Structure 1
């Protein structure tokens, strides 16, 4: 039996329809090319409601987003573990991808209880497994603060003074926002400052694992099938969000109760057919469509080439270090999975950029905008802006190789660009403790985001999570590989922290020196880490620990890089908005901003595609294909109970394609039909669309989703999870 949203949403929708009708009279409407773009919640109301209805939307757009209340069905989409997910019950159940909850599964796995291999099902809430570091963010409100921030910039300000003024105004807005109880606040820039939005969210801290399929289902096909079609992967998992007995966010406790969301997605029993309208909701992480051609060339010639090279080396190291060690395999599983994914992504980006001649096409597009802007007095600054962006890029490239290596070690809770794990852990721990010590020497209000007193517990949790991914042999080997790369840098790009300790050493001597760094250091001990998080830089230095000393030196150079990056970013933030305004004016239509980890919606239709001449892919795969691929060996080893059940229903759908505009971070995104019902979970893109981060190509832009019916079938016919199915509002076994 189908469910509806909580009863309070029905009158909300009726009221919002009136709001939308009035809003559309005042807003420019988008009637073409709306499929091209990851649209912000606010932009949903800019899209022609009649056009959306023609595409297949059965709800008023105001049901998706209410600009006055700053909420709507979109807020049923959550940010979970750096991925996207969706509430599917009024008891806090969340569906997302298996790979998005992989860390939580790993956290509770051991050689004696291998949940990674065997999967997990909590048959009662009491059996659910808590995640120490898993968090869920629920969007609450989006407020445009562009005018307020730009008004804070004094006349005649330099780029650095401008950025400082904007930063200070942002901090003031965030501080004001945080006076609300249980509200997390941040200001996000769109396309380097064309607009700024204050984003208010609720962060839930008690997240528990409910269901994860065996790895043979959750990543069926492994790296062989990754970024490709046809796929037959059950990339889904279920968690539950809990809150305190008072309904407010709380840490894990026995007395907590399931969270009751305002909006959740009912699960469709109808599925989808070819040509059906669907929507993909989520938090895409980063795209590069706002870059000028010169910057895209840097991504192609430097960034992805170096990532492919580095990740290939790391994969070989981690696989060799874990091949005969069961504990190491569990510890390294999540990191290795992530690196494999980004390694193949880098290859796909290079191939796609070349195949589509995307840099050349962008240069032609840039030239067209520049020629147009030269004749438009209102956009005369666009020509200067393009030249300035080129100058910033030229400066970046002078120290590119050095900076690439330094940026492999993030600061604390930051993520390495592209979502890769911080390696080696030893250097990450030491450099993070050093940076924290520097920040602790400042007044709390002057500390950088992520380092305040209130955020120390989150930093501690991050260190614990990375400790769970640590294996000493593998870490030392990755450390040695990093040292070798640093020692091979050109003379004008040296990393002094490495040269001072390793210059002139043979490979064997480097290994010995690293082993000595790891011997007896306190940085891998949780209790010692807690103590050092409360110490200043002088106290850390007084420990006379060689690994800590290296971390301090490395962080010193990384902080200096951040200052240079701040200068580059200040200049880019001054000039890119001028260029992007000209691009939008030349296009004559609204343009969705680049992905930046904020909530977006993409509109799509279920359809196949032709990857190359003479080949046509259909949009669906079935259990028959799962059985056909089965070899009995990884990554095509279907569990016996699944094979037996699948043999009776070979036509049941497993995965499907749509032309959604997605990117990294859309993993776990709910795919909903025109009535707002959940029909699938996005988990990948096709190989020909990996470079879609640089531009939308309707011929090959295809996202890959798991049919939600496949998850329900596994729960019903394989797991016999009747209680969970009833909670999901779908029929259990007869």
Structure 2
């Protein structure tokens, strides 16, 4: 009887995955075209991806390496999220000219603002090269297999000759069961064209982050520039707007519930096929540790930002970045509990094991390995978050790495250039005295929470945050790393080039720096006691996960498998839908401008509203952007399966027109990275009609609308 129950469950899970008609992050040249058309798509898979003729993929870019953007005009106009462009907008801001607060709209191309280091990467081709990569490795295992695959990858790339302005790399898919070659072109001159003020682009801020209903106009406009031959080039005044192979038409018709949409972008990372034991460790140990550290850092940072305007501007992007995944992990844990993910995964594993005994053995090995790894994993979570959020220690780690590279002869001119760029990026938004408070608190938290055998002897003295503060503050005041102490008359944050001019003298000074010594002790102890063992076990887990992935695909013939996200170009699709996340709670799929006015709190840093937007609303001056309700549609949700990296991705309708801009997920469903649940997992998009309304009526930037192809049917 139990075997029958398991079989019934197995079949029901498989059939449900087919019936949901959503979920999944599909390689664009391997789309499930039949299902997409059944759901309402009118265009073809070749319209979405082609390596030989212009297609929608030629309008989608990896923006800044961590977000997505899309080209919406024949002159390289690029649309992405306000939060994706936030760092660039911040760097153009000052107390005197605060673009974050006031917004910015270029009146012509000459006024567009350059952003050193900002890139837009187009995908040229995606090819399955599995046979070449795994040649000679099939009979090997462990390190021998990994070494053979690395050798094959290196050989393939050495023999592959893209154009001089292109790059190529190979990435594993399906947990290493398949490999794909990806060819790309990266443009390095990307200029800011327009951004609404924070009161629109970040409306709701941290309170509304990950939350539905949403009323955030999370968009910004940039432009990609190229050389006179339309090829990638470093910034130069002589560069011209890029002429894309393809750009997206913009639909002013909009969408309605149950319409088909697909999202095209660069999702960062998912783990949909983990065993139950992995979900359990993440939910009960790793996520709580990460949340705890970030909670402490955000509290200290937020208190200073609320009382000091200069700090608010300097730390705005940093605070948002830290808070983003802090809140996501909280929602993820709640979603895993609500959806009973661990128990459901265990039941599914029992059903798989009943059909394939080898799976039972693999799952038993997983339990053993994850339990072995647990104390190392917990320590790694605290350590990683300490270094991530205590920036003085992060800087000290960079300087320690510099000293190691120099001592071993690996410090090269190109290495130096990258290091100085990284350091400058940290120093530009760094407040050493504020960071001393954060470091004092996080050191105490880490020292108290990680297993004592993994704690350096000296770190035992840092278990009290109040006692830490004067010690750490004095360290910062006398440290070259913090930018407070001087070296040859300069501080590092004011003149990195001069400080690094005499590298041997610099190293001699750094060796006596107490902050450097603390960071080195933490790093070396972590590497000696934790990292090696953690990584060794992780290698075994990864090898087992590869086998488990193959076994799932071989055993569950009724389930449609897609590869986990890995920051490569993907398509996900679904329908415009609301949800019922809790008892007696129903979310509609569309919000409107009136919702902004309902949330409006004058002078509030999260819910203030610009005076001009209030005036437009009161006069009902909505132009052609209102719908049948008489209001301007603002945001909508769909069942498309998105994750980090999909920020800024285009939401495209059945006919291939831009209808929305992906920017978030519904909090109740953020566990979709691990356990997609079609009942509650929803992605959130700015309705393109609201974007057009803001550009037209609020910004009066009609010159930008004229270069778009706007369709109304």
Partner of 1:637: 608
The alpha-carbon distance between structure 1 residues 441 and 242, as it changes in their structure 2 partners (threshold 3 A), is farther
Partner of 1:573: 542
- Checking the alignment, whether the CA contact within 8 Å between 2:441 and 2:465 is kept in structure 1 is no
- Checking the alignment, whether the CA contact within 8 Å between 2:433 and 2:473 is kept in structure 1 is no
Distance 1:677 1:487 in 2: 53
TM-score scaled by structure 2?
A: 0.88
Question: How far is the alpha carbon of 1:610 from its aligned partner?
Answer: 2.0
Distance 2:509 2:280 in 1: 46
Q: Give structure 1 stretches of 5+ with no counterpart.
A: 1-29, 375-379, 411-421, 445-450
Partner of 2:382: 405
Distance 1:165 1:75 in 2: 34
Residues 587-626 of structure 1 show CA distances to partners (whole Å, capped at 9, x for unaligned) of 2143112222111111111122222333332221112222
Q: Give structure 2 stretches of 5+ with no counterpart.
A: 1-16, 484-491, 623-629
Question: How far is the alpha carbon of 1:329 from its aligned partner?
Answer: 1.0
Distance 2:705 2:54 in 1: 28
Distance 1:527 1:221 in 2: 36
- Checking the alignment, whether the CA contact within 8 Å between 1:437 and 1:535 is kept in structure 2 is no
Partner of 1:141: 125
Distance 2:116 2:503 in 1: 27
Partner of 2:454: 494
The alpha-carbon distance between structure 1 residues 572 and 504, as it changes in their structure 2 partners (threshold 3 A), is closer
- Checking the alignment, whether the CA contact within 8 Å between 1:86 and 1:669 is kept in structure 2 is yes
Q: How many residues align?
A: 673
Q: Which aligned pairs between 1:462-473 and structure 2 lie closer than 5 A?
A: 462-473=422-433
Distance 1:518 1:595 in 2: 40
Question: How far is the alpha carbon of 1:533 from its aligned partner?
Answer: 7.1
Question: How far is the alpha carbon of 1:41 from its aligned partner?
Answer: 1.5
Report the more deviating stretch, 676-685 or 464-473.
464-473
Correspondence 1:712 to 2:692: yes
TM-score scaled by structure 1?
A: 0.85
Correspondence 1:274 to 2:257: yes
- Checking the alignment, whether the CA contact within 8 Å between 2:666 and 2:682 is kept in structure 1 is yes
Partner of 1:540: 507
- Checking the alignment, whether the CA contact within 8 Å between 2:54 and 2:246 is kept in structure 1 is no
- Checking the alignment, whether the CA contact within 8 Å between 1:607 and 1:619 is kept in structure 2 is yes
Question: How far is the alpha carbon of 1:265 from its aligned partner?
Answer: 0.9
Question: How far is the alpha carbon of 1:475 from its aligned partner?
Answer: 1.0
SS class of match (1:407):
helix
Corresponding residue to 1:320 among 284, 300, 303: 303
Correspondence 1:583 to 2:552: yes
Partner of 2:45: 61
Corresponding residue to 1:358 among 341, 352, 359: 341
Distance 1:395 1:566 in 2: 12
Corresponding residue to 1:678 among 650, 655, 658: 658
Q: Which aligned pairs between 1:143-542 and structure 2 lie closer than 5 A?
A: 143-153=127-137, 155-157=139-141, 159-177=142-160, 180-374=163-357, 380=358, 382-408=359-385, 422-439=388-405, 454=414, 457-489=417-449, 492-496=452-456, 499-500=457-458, 503=461, 507-523=465-481, 524=483, 525-526=492-493, 529-530=496-497, 540=507
Residues 8-42 of structure 1 show CA distances to partners (whole Å, capped at 9, x for unaligned) of xxxxxxxxxxxxxxxxxxxxxx9865412111113
Distance 1:538 1:390 in 2: 51
Residues 341-374 of structure 1 show CA distances to partners (whole Å, capped at 9, x for unaligned) of 2222122111111111001101111121122111
Partner of 1:447: none
Partner of 1:700: 680
Distance 2:501 2:152 in 1: 29
The alpha-carbon distance between structure 1 residues 352 and 580, as it changes in their structure 2 partners (threshold 3 A), is same
The alpha-carbon distance between structure 1 residues 469 and 708, as it changes in their structure 2 partners (threshold 3 A), is same
CA RMSD, aligned part only?
Answer: 2.8
SS class of match (1:187):
strand
Report the more deviating stretch, 451-460 or 547-556.
451-460
- Checking the alignment, whether the CA contact within 8 Å between 1:323 and 1:329 is kept in structure 2 is yes
Q: Which aligned pairs between 1:609-648 and structure 2 lie closer than 5 A?
A: 609-634=579-604, 635-647=606-618, 648=620
- Checking the alignment, whether the CA contact within 8 Å between 1:133 and 1:465 is kept in structure 2 is no
Distance 1:626 1:366 in 2: 46
Question: How far is the alpha carbon of 1:216 from its aligned partner?
Answer: 0.6
The alpha-carbon distance between structure 1 residues 346 and 654, as it changes in their structure 2 partners (threshold 3 A), is same
Distance 2:367 2:209 in 1: 35
Distance 1:223 1:526 in 2: 30
Distance 1:531 1:563 in 2: 37
Question: How far is the alpha carbon of 1:305 from its aligned partner?
Answer: 1.3
Distance 1:260 1:88 in 2: 11
- Checking the alignment, whether the CA contact within 8 Å between 1:286 and 1:595 is kept in structure 2 is yes
Question: How far is the alpha carbon of 1:278 from its aligned partner?
Answer: 0.7
